[in-house]
Structure 1
């Protein structure tokens, strides 16, 4: 049950959403047991983001959350970040130095009225 939320100061047109969804679908496979089949992507465009106290340049926060009863290896998160960052940078025209990727896992996740 992975979820990737994109918060960006820029517009995220439908074509960009599709491109990012595809890139995220591939990137999530870096996390053991995860695939695009259960991936949910959310897009928050034109978000007010201050990076270092400055909002004059485009910025983005990518939040990645997964359901995992065990710990996700650091190498998996590193591979995911390495895949997601250039996809966001190229698709939305944001300097990679102004993109944060937040990664987390939870042993509790709800779907279809049930919590795992």
Structure 2
């Protein structure tokens, strides 16, 4: 039950959003036991982000929440893929993308906690 929320400093076209949705849906399978069939995505375009005191270049803050335990190797590989995705689709330099991971012990869905 992963959730990926992306705060992006630029507008997102419908085409870009669909491409991000598709590519992130594929990328989540890098984490063992995770798949697009349980993935929820959120996009926050035109988000006010500053890096090194400036907002002159496109930026992204990507938050990945997963139910279960940590997997440092998988998270590292996913970070590389997320940076690649945002560079290819949104033209955001990899060194202007932060990726934050959060593992969640309890996850509510369908009226109950898993």
Do Structure 1 and Structure 2 share a fold, with TM-score over 0.5?
A: yes
Once the 2 structures are TM-superposed, how far is the Cα of residue 90 of structure 1 from its aligned partner? 1.3
Once the 2 structures are TM-superposed, how far is the Cα of residue 32 of structure 1 from its aligned partner? 1.2
Where do 4+ consecutive residues of structure 1 move more than 2 Å? Answer: none
1:108 is aligned to 106
Unaligned runs of 5+ in 2: none
- For 2:12 and 2:107, locate their aligned partners in 1 and report how far apart those are by CA, in whole Å: 28
TM-score by length of 2: 0.95
Unaligned runs of 5+ in 1: none
- For 2:89 and 2:25, locate their aligned partners in 1 and report how far apart those are by CA, in whole Å: 15
TM-score by length of 1: 0.94
* 3-state SS of 2:87 partner: helix
| CA RMSD in angstroms, aligned pairs only | 0.9
- Aligned pair count reads 114
- For 2:46 and 2:13, locate their aligned partners in 1 and report how far apart those are by CA, in whole Å: 11
